[in-house]
């Protein structure tokens, strides 16, 4: 039920992001969604791609500092209070969200959010027990 | 004015005879009390009895900062600890700091040399001395303090930092002399102006500035902005602290080395060959009166030259030119000595960093800045991709550098393999300061 995400350390400088997209383009990799966390000096680019293994390999070959992290894709009802309901469930169980971002594509009638939790397995457990849909990686990579 | 007219104006012949007598005594003493010197002299095939003239000193081996570190902390002391009344140390990690000791008589000598320096700058007991050198293990604060007290001047022991308060005291207490680094003097001028203080009409009339290299251009700027006479003072903790040499008000060119206490040589830093007066090279000092921590032919790594022409102030002691640079990779940042290897030691102690770094030294306005670029390793980003984890590493590096070296650094994490790989260590430093 987990999704593999690639994290790349980037300095803040012109062309920094472009170097990443070029490498991915040349390897024919499709970016499904991305999220950039930035500070004054550096950023961390998080990517979900259609082919994690190849993406990681080519990025490494091109000298990037690449990490692989596990995140969770959750279906969020597309109506007022949809996200709130999910966060309520999580906070009741003492699960901390490290960060989250939205997925571009929808899953049926629902929006898709990507979550990074402090304890991934426990979070998935809580979500499933509360009847919330967690999307498997294979589905997310090809949404 | 001259504080110790008799010794500061000794005819050269008498001065050199005094130096020879004192040199013979100190060489005998270190040979018999400090194991390091006995071994070094024996290995070089020289004996204390070989000193028949001052030139014979050239046959003796040099002492280096490395020797001081190898004998950390007290290995080169020539008296038992019961006779030591004060310790000072340079910044650095344990084992890398250099530690110096003083007997009661050493402190008296140091105070007298500082008093000589003040008088050379035109101070008397009627002056109020604003001492903004740091108090503590650094020799600047206490060295200046004791000398000013011996002279009978009134000392304001303000120490470093807290600039707003310093400006208030400069206005309210009306000190007539200020002691600090040249860049801090400029910083005070700048901050005072910003606060709306008229920095040109303070009672200050003299600045005794040192602990970092500066230029004639900086001197002019300091003199203009504070409306003072700015004079250069030289010293290093290994030899004593501030007061090894002092520029006189009358000559205003070159610093008189107090030769009745120190013998100065200039050498070619590559060959060790002694160079004649007027030629630039590395300063080497031998202390001839110090009891606790005598040094024979200590290589300062400071680049300067000696001037033997008589000075109009009447002092017969040789003058050294402004220190124009270093023969090693030591950086002086806001008056604090920093070796790139010390920063490297901090970095290797922190997990998740590649041992690849670069130091960028610059001057923003009047103050030196140090930026440390470090490559992040793959492991860090694999373990966690959170911004706060990386920021924590940045803060940890800055904190450790501040704690071990006493200098504030801005840390910048950079992508792996982006810093140039160097064979030599010196090129890890980019010094953009245009002093």
Report, as an integer, the average pLDDT of B365-383.
85
Residues 6 or more apart in contact with residue B69 via CB below 8 angstroms:
B95, B96, B98
Residue-wise pLDDT for B228-259, tens only, equals 999 999 999 999 999 999 999 998 889 999 99
- Nearest chain B Cα to A42, which residue? B413
- Residue B390 touches chain A, beta carbons under 8 Å: yes
Q: Which residue has the higher pLDDT, B403 or B153?
A: B153
Q: Are B186 and B209 in contact (CB under 8 A)?
A: no
Please give the helix or strand (H or E) that residue B178 lies within, else none.
strand B177-180
**Sheet holding B298-304: strands in order across?**
B262-267, B281-287, B298-304, B325-326
Report, as an integer, the average pLDDT of B329-358.
84
Q: Are B211 and B179 in contact (CB under 8 A)?
A: no
Q: In which band, very low, low, confident or very high, does the pLDDT at B398 lie, cut at 50, 70 and 90?
A: very high
Q: Is B414 exposed, middle or buried (0-12, 13-18, 19+ CB in 10 A)?
A: buried
Q: Is A36 left (phi over 0), alpha (psi -120 to 50) or beta?
A: beta
The ipTM of this complex is 0.79
- Residue B49 touches chain A, beta carbons under 8 Å: no
Residue-wise pLDDT for B64-105, tens only, equals 999 998 999 999 999 999 999 999 998 655 556 789 999 999
pLDDT value at position A123? 95
Chosen from A6, A43, A63, A65 to mutate, greatest number of chain B CBs within 10 A: A65
Chosen from B385, B398, B409 to mutate, greatest number of chain A CBs within 10 A: B385
> CA–CA separation, B30 vs B291, rounded Å?
10
> CA–CA separation, B350 vs B397, rounded Å?
8
Q: Are A106 and A73 in contact (CB under 8 A)?
A: no
Q: Are B232 and B247 in contact (CB under 8 A)?
A: yes
Residue-wise pLDDT for B12-63, tens only, equals 999 999 999 999 999 999 999 999 999 999 999 999 999 999 999 999 999 9
pLDDT value at position B366? 81
* Whether residue B288 has pLDDT greater than 80: yes
* Whether residue B425 has pLDDT greater than 50: no
> How far A109 CA lies from chain B's nearest CA (Å)?
31
- Residue B354 touches chain A, beta carbons under 8 Å: no
* A96-104 own/partner pairs: CB under 8 Å, 24+ apart: A98/B386, A99/A35, A99/A37, A99/B386, A101/A33, A101/A35, A101/A46, A102/A33, A103/A32, A103/A33, A103/A48, A103/A73, A103/A140, A103/A143, A104/A32, A104/A33
Contact A9 B386 (CB under 8 A): no
- Crossing angle (nearest 10°) for helices A82-92 and A120-129: 120
pLDDT value at position B422? 60
* Whether residue B209 has pLDDT greater than 70: yes
Instruction: For the full predicted model, state whether its pTM sits above 0.95.
Output: no
Using DSSP's 3-state secondary structure scheme, residue A10 falls into strand
Q: Looking at the partner chain, which of B377, B380, B415 has a beta carbon nearest the beta carbon of A64?
A: B415
* Whether residue B225 has pLDDT greater than 80: yes
pLDDT value at position B94? 52
* Whether residue B426 has pLDDT greater than 60: no
pLDDT value at position A73? 95
Report, as an integer, the average pLDDT of B375-400.
85
pLDDT value at position A142? 81
């Amino acid at each position: 039920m987990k999704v593999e995400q690639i994290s790349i350390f980037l300095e803040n400088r012109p062309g920094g992001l472009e170097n990443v997209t070029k490498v991915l383009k040349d390897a024919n990799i499709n970016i499904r969604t991305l999220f950039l966390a930035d500070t004054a000096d550096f950023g961390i680019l998080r990517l979900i791609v259609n082919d994690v293994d190849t993406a990681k390999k080519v990025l490494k070959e091109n000298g990037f500092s690449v990490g692989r992290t596990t995140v969770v894709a959750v279906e969020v009802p597309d109506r007022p209070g949809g996200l709130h309901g999910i966060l309520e469930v999580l906070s009741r169980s003492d699960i901390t969200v490290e960060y989250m971002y939205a997925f571009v594509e929808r899953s049926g009638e629902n929006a898709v959010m990507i979550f990074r939790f402090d304890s991934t397995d426990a979070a998935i457990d809580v979500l499933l027990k509360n009847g919330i849909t967690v999307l498997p990686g294979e589905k997310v990579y090809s949404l | 004015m001259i504080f110790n007219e008799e010794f500061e104006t000794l005819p050269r012949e008498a001065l050199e005879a005094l130096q020879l007598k004192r040199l013979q005594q100190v060489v005998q003493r270190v040979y018999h009390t400090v194991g390091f010197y006995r071994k070094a002299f024996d290995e070089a095939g020289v004996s204390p009895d070989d000193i028949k003239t001052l030139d014979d000193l050239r046959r003796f081996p040099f002492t280096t900062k490395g020797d001081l570190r190898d004998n950390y902390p007290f290995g080169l002391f020539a008296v038992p600890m019961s006779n030591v009344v004060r310790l000072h140390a340079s910044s650095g990690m344990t084992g890398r700091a250099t530690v110096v000791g003083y007997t009661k008589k050493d402190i008296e000598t140091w105070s007298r040399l500082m008093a000589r320096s003040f008088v050379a700058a035109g101070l008397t007991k009627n002056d109020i001395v604003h001492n903004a050198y740091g108090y503590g293990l650094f020799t600047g604060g206490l060295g200046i303090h004791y000398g000013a007290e011996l002279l009978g001047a009134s000392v304001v022991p303000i120490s470093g930092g807290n600039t707003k308060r310093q400006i208030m005291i400069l206005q309210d207490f009306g000190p007539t002399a200020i002691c600090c680094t040249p860049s801090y003097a400029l910083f005070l001028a700048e901050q005072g102006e910003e606060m709306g203080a008229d920095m040109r009409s303070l009672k200050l009339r003299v600045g005794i500035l040192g602990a970092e290299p500066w230029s004639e251009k900086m001197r002019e700027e300091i003199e203009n902005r504070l409306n003072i006479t700015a004079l250069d003072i030289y010293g290093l903790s290994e030899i004593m602290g501030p007061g090894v040499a002092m520029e006189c008000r009358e000559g205003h060119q070159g610093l008189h080395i107090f030769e009745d206490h120190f013998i100065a040589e200039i050498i070619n830093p590559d060959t060790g060959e002694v160079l004649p007066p007027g030629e630039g090279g590395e300063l080497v000092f031998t202390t001839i009166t110090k009891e606790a921590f005598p040094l024979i032919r200590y290589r300062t790594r400071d680049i300067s030259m000696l001037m033997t022409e008589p000075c109009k102030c009447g002092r017969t002691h040789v003058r050294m030119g402004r220190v124009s640079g270093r023969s090693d990779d030591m950086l002086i940042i806001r008056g604090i000595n920093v070796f790139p290897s010390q920063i490297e030691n901090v970095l290797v102690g922190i997990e998740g960093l590649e041992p690849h770094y670069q130091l960028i030294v610059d001057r923003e306005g009047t103050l030196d800045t140090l930026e440390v670029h470090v490559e992040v390793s793959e492991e860090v980003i694999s373990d966690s991709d959170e911004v706060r984890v990386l920021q924590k590493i940045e803060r940890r590096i800055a904190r450790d550098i501040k704690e071990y070296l006493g200098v504030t650094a801005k840390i910048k994490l950079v992508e792996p393999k982006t810093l140039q790989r160097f064979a030599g260590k010196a090129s890890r430093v980019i010094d953009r300061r245009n002093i």
